[in-house]
Structure 1
Amino acid sequence: MARQHLSQFLGPVSKHLNSIRTAAQVISRNQGLKLLLNSGLTSRTQVHPDVYPFAAYLGQLFGCTHVITIGSPTARDLIQLYPQFEITGIVPATDLDLYRRRYGFANWLGADFNASFRILPDENILRRAIVVCANVIEQLASPASLLENLKLWLDVAPICILTSADRSLDKGREGQAAHPGRWNPAELERLLRAEGFNLEFIGLTASDNVSYEKRTILALVKNSAAIKPPAVKTPSDFRVVAFMAAYNEEDIIVQSIRKWTEQGVHVHVLENWSTDSTYNLAKQLEGQLPVTVERFPKEGPSRYFEWGAMLERIEQLSREIESDWFVRRGADEVLLPPWPGMSYRDGLYFVDRAGFNCVDHTVINFQPVDDGFEAGMDHEAYFNYFDFGKLPSYFRQRKAWKNYGQKISMAASGGHDLPFEGQRVYPYKFLLKHYPVRSQGHGEKKVFHERKARWNPAERARGWHRQYDSVRKGHRFLRPALEQRLFVEDDFNRTYLMERLSGIGVLR
């Protein structure tokens, strides 16, 4: 019965965490099974279904041990947090006895949010806590007291998730009228900045688990003393080296290399004995730009694409080349930090200053809608329609790491992870824009002749190179624009804030 409730009600987090392990953790503690079953007895309609999974995701990566919730979390919300975190909940005073009776594993405090109140948790808790204030602020006659408390807590706590219905929200639980939104995202941003909050991101998240319409504002506010991206100046001697694997990419190789070098990144190309002009085009840039090119394998073309051996070569190069950070990317990928207008190199320096040493990425795939792309064009500018990458491998794209001279191992994961001792993954994912196919003819040539025909059977047996298994002869590589999403950077950053920062919400 518990398993049935788990699969039905864990919701979006089940796509990102091991559900069986989560169930075992919940059941292992007193009242855990009761919480699990209560989550199945609550309404099927869940408000802001991704917020508490997002809190668990960020809490883990920020190294938090506690979560402080403000508002009225449901059992389905709390099951995302317990028992991984110690929970302190601040609920309406009229509901205090109910919460203490129903969820005795947490520390519950009551407050009249519409009155002047002051609650100051222990600093040792705050220092290790993520704060979640979900859909409370818009219900208050005046948010002043709530904001004062949050401001005090964020002098110590690392991060706060704040949500509010926006002014277009017109339905709530069970289709009944909800508290109307008082702000749109721009207005809430102005309010938070005027109150002195260190606002890092603001956008939208799903309002319920029925329509998943984006009508709830999501704001991420960080510690008051935490450095802000614009304030960080990357020193000229901060060196980043990008390892770029390339095979038959003559139509984009020059643009792809320049997109790195224009950001001050050195590019080392591992050219896999292309049968087109990729190698010659890359070599021509060697004397003009910070680019080095090697052919791999050194001995000459191999019968199969030896991806594992190439990853081992990159591991070897990372021990030989002097650099502060390394990044591995394909020639058909464009990588961006989560802060608009910032270069990837500057983003890595900011991550470094924040005390982290590894970066993960969210993947979006751009597919052609026509056959108009020509060699030498800017592929990032030409292709405007995308969808989120949904293959299992896309949810672990740890491709950038700080160089301590440490040994890394990418080959074990097929290049999707690079575990090393002391790894601290930055909580917010960077963006990976992927341009694997540029026309119908290119797709047919690449998939059937340059990929499937060259896969290494031993690597296939390990579960690698599965991305084109469903593609058969006659496949239509052109996708109508109506079947994809138009990429406009500002709209994307706002509408898909949670998806791009964590991957939560992608699989729906």
Structure 2
Amino acid sequence: MREYTLEMGNGFFLEEYPYFYQLSLYLAKSTEVEYIIHISPHSLVSHEANFKNIINININRSELLINIPHFSDEMLSKSMVVIANTLEYITNIEVLINFIARASCLCKCVQIATPDRIKRCGLNGYWDKDYTRQWSMEELYNCFIKRGIHLDYIGYTSPSSNSLVKNTLFFLTGVAISYKKVIPKKTAAIINVYNEKDVIVEVINHLLEQGVDVIAIDNWSNDGSFELLIDLYIDNSRVTIKRFPESKSTHYEWGKLLENLQKESIDSKYDWIIHHDSDELRYSPWKNATLADAISFVDSMGYNAIDFTVLDFRPVMGEVSVYNNYEKKIGYYEFGKRPGHFIQIKAWKNTNDVEMKQSGGHEAVFPNRKVYPIKFLLKHYPLRNELQANKKIFRDRLDRILPEEREKGWHFQYNKYLQTEGFTLWNKDTLNYWSEVDFEMYYIIERISGIGIIQS
């Protein structure tokens, strides 16, 4: 059952902005607001028992005016504001803009959607005679900026559940998600390494650039990964290099590695820990913040855990094989679609009570966990070329997985190779091509919340 309904009088229900409104309720839950102030021609009705405090402010389409009651600062601080299908109708636009400016400084979240004129009708088009103002992205963005409204996230979303075309403007701001520089917290990434010589330096250097220290735990690699780490980082005070277990094992004992990771995190001196793979790059959700700075801000807001949106980058047919510098050279990706990709709570405020093993390493579980509402980004490069992929799948993983771990459903991603003889490259037509600008603009809701990503 849907978590919400949009009503337009006489029992008429709308299917508008599905991702937009799913995000509204997701943010309302995760920021623990007491009120949702909803401004629209339609009324928002939540079917969730704990979201009955919805204040619907409906615009008068016959008069094209909006009257917004006065809300105290205290009430706004306990609220989020959701505005949809309003900016294009009303004539007294200053009333709404002034309210948005005030709400953005007090409310936990302010979320706005309105049709984009150019996306729907071209440079000179106007498509609805009932609209008093039809906005483009540039026009509305400049309008907000001139009023001093800081916008954290801008982009496009789909107008209905029946359309995949993203031609509706989306804006998001608010005190719970507007980044500001705070006193830094010490953060470390704990990385289990096994035969990742071609990528591990890129990963560690990225973390150091992002202000994150590294605890690299080699699991008895036989490709020279351990020797390379010693050679490059033995004198670097921000990188700790260890080996686990004490002696080489014939199996890939993921459960024991997770238990050791828990111990390493508890014994460490760091405020925050990231359970980090040796073939991934992680990013802050704010362009002006490093990963370490962003984690420090999340901590200052009273949250103690962070979730991630996963992008899997793929080697494709018809392209030259890549053997290094993967972020720059592998351009095709898809959203992580396996069930485990939708639970990636792998950064947490250090605690003695953390537990990772039960979930197979997908989430840090501990008492009173409070996950930050905006997801960070994880760019994953697990299979990078035919040579590396065949070695990793058929020699480093399938032959070494413990039967009892496979029975638990761990390492599920390798099951499809059990009945095959070799690795096959991806068809680029089934993937997206990476452009940071386009990704941030057209997949903004998917990126910050995971909403809209199709699970396989």
TM-score by length of 2: 0.89
Query: Mean alpha-carbon deviation: is it higher for 257-266 or for 150-159?
Result: 150-159
- Secondary structure at the counterpart of residue 261 of structure 1: helix
Is 1:296 aligned to residue 296 of structure 2? no
How far the C-alpha of 1:421 sits from its partner, in A, is 2.4
**Matched residues, percent identical?**
31
Which residue does the alignment assign to 1:92? Answer: 59
Which residue does the alignment assign to 1:18? Answer: none
AA partner of residue 97 (structure 2): L
| Cα distance in 2 for residues equivalent to 1:393 and 1:80 | 27
How far the C-alpha of 1:94 sits from its partner, in A, is 7.1
Is 1:369 aligned to residue 316 of structure 2? yes
CA contact 2:314–2:384 (8 Å) conserved in 1: yes
| Cα distance in 2 for residues equivalent to 1:427 and 1:254 | 31
AA partner of residue 480 (structure 1): N
Which residue does the alignment assign to 1:267? Answer: 214
Q: Alpha carbons of 1:64 and 1:381: their partners in 2 closer, same or farther (altered >3 Å)?
A: same
Equivalent in 107, 124, 129 of residue 157 of structure 1: 107
For 1:54-453, what aligned pairs fall within 5 Å after superposition? Answer: 54-73=23-42, 78-79=45-46, 83-93=50-60, 114=65, 117-121=67-71, 125-170=75-120, 178=128, 182-223=134-175, 228-229=178-179, 231-232=180-181, 235=184, 238-289=185-236, 290-298=238-246, 300-370=247-317, 372-375=320-323, 377-403=324-350, 405-453=351-399
How far the C-alpha of 1:456 sits from its partner, in A, is 1.6
How far the C-alpha of 1:482 sits from its partner, in A, is 2.2
AA partner of residue 299 (structure 2): D
Is 1:459 aligned to residue 405 of structure 2? yes
| Cα distance in 2 for residues equivalent to 1:361 and 1:425 | 11
CA contact 1:408–1:420 (8 Å) conserved in 2: yes
Query: Mean alpha-carbon deviation: is it higher for 464-473 or for 273-282?
Result: 464-473
- Secondary structure at the counterpart of residue 199 of structure 1: coil
TM-score by length of 1: 0.81
Which residue does the alignment assign to 1:105? Answer: none
Q: Alpha carbons of 1:385 and 1:227: their partners in 2 closer, same or farther (altered >3 Å)?
A: closer
| Cα distance in 1 for residues equivalent to 2:250 and 2:164 | 48
| Cα distance in 2 for residues equivalent to 1:65 and 1:464 | 39
Query: Mean alpha-carbon deviation: is it higher for 472-481 or for 271-280?
Result: 472-481
Q: Alpha carbons of 1:82 and 1:245: their partners in 2 closer, same or farther (altered >3 Å)?
A: same
Which ranges in structure 2 are unaligned for 5 or more consecutive residues?
122-126
Q: Alpha carbons of 1:321 and 1:457: their partners in 2 closer, same or farther (altered >3 Å)?
A: same
How far the C-alpha of 1:419 sits from its partner, in A, is 2.1
- Secondary structure at the counterpart of residue 193 of structure 1: helix
How far the C-alpha of 1:287 sits from its partner, in A, is 2.3
Q: Alpha carbons of 1:258 and 1:448: their partners in 2 closer, same or farther (altered >3 Å)?
A: same
| Cα distance in 2 for residues equivalent to 1:66 and 1:147 | 20
| Cα distance in 2 for residues equivalent to 1:94 and 1:439 | 58
CA contact 1:132–1:161 (8 Å) conserved in 2: yes
Which ranges in structure 1 are unaligned for 5 or more consecutive residues?
1-5, 11-21, 27-34, 96-111, 172-176
What is the RMSD of the two structures over their aligned residues, measured on CA atoms? 2.8
How far the C-alpha of 1:82 sits from its partner, in A, is 5.6
Q: Alpha carbons of 1:247 and 1:89: their partners in 2 closer, same or farther (altered >3 Å)?
A: same
Which residue does the alignment assign to 1:47? Answer: 16
AA partner of residue 192 (structure 2): A
Q: Which has the higher helix share?
A: 1
- Secondary structure at the counterpart of residue 459 of structure 1: helix
- Alpha-carbon displacement from aligned partner over 1:341-386 (angstroms, at most 9, x marks no partner): 53211211221222222111000100012563454x2111111111
AA partner of residue 82 (structure 2): V
Query: Mean alpha-carbon deviation: is it higher for 80-89 or for 138-147?
Result: 80-89
- Secondary structure at the counterpart of residue 449 of structure 1: helix
Which residue does the alignment assign to 1:14? Answer: none
- Secondary structure at the counterpart of residue 96 of structure 2: helix
| Cα distance in 2 for residues equivalent to 1:373 and 1:459 | 33
| Cα distance in 1 for residues equivalent to 2:306 and 2:139 | 31
